[in-house]
Amino acid sequence: MWSPADIEFSPRRLVQPDLFVAPLVEGKLPRTWRDIHGLILAVETLSPATARADRREKRRIYMEEDVAEYWIVDLDARVFERWRKGEDRPEILTHSLGWQPRADVPPLTIDLSAYFADVLDI
């Protein structure tokens, strides 16, 4: 699902990721944003105004809320930072990103060189 959407983990803990993947609700797609109480993946694209919050506060929230993966997209550096639950440091990805949230589905593979070329129109 694409943002803008407020994801409310609790009344005092609300985030608005740039892109996210939410689990099914009782085997079906969520009908409203309020049906989403957890995330499988959260993605934030850095900007000068959000970089500090994305790397600190939001990362801490996502990891505490058991989001399996959190990706930070740094367009200036042309890298993805992949944070996984329980890890102290991100994996820095520059060439390829593979994501497979479940073993029974094929992995999503993103060619990061092609992605950044397309996004940055170079």
Better-scored residue on pLDDT, 73 or 34: 73
Most confident of 21-25, 34-38, 81-85: 81-85
* Residues 53-107 pLDDT 10s: 999 999 999 999 999 999 999 999 999 999 998 898 999 999 999 999 989 989 9
**What's the confidence (pLDDT) of residue 73?**
97
What domain range includes position 32? 7-95
Asked if the model's pLDDT at residue 17 lies above 80, the reply is yes
**What DSSP designation does 33 have?**
G
In sign, the C-alpha dihedral spanning 25, 31, 35, 40 is: positive
* Alpha carbon 26 to its chain's center: 22
Amino acid identity at 22: A
Residue 34 included in any domain: yes
Does residue 28 fall inside a structural domain? yes
Tally of structural domains, the chain: 1
Residue position matching structure tokens 């105004």: 49
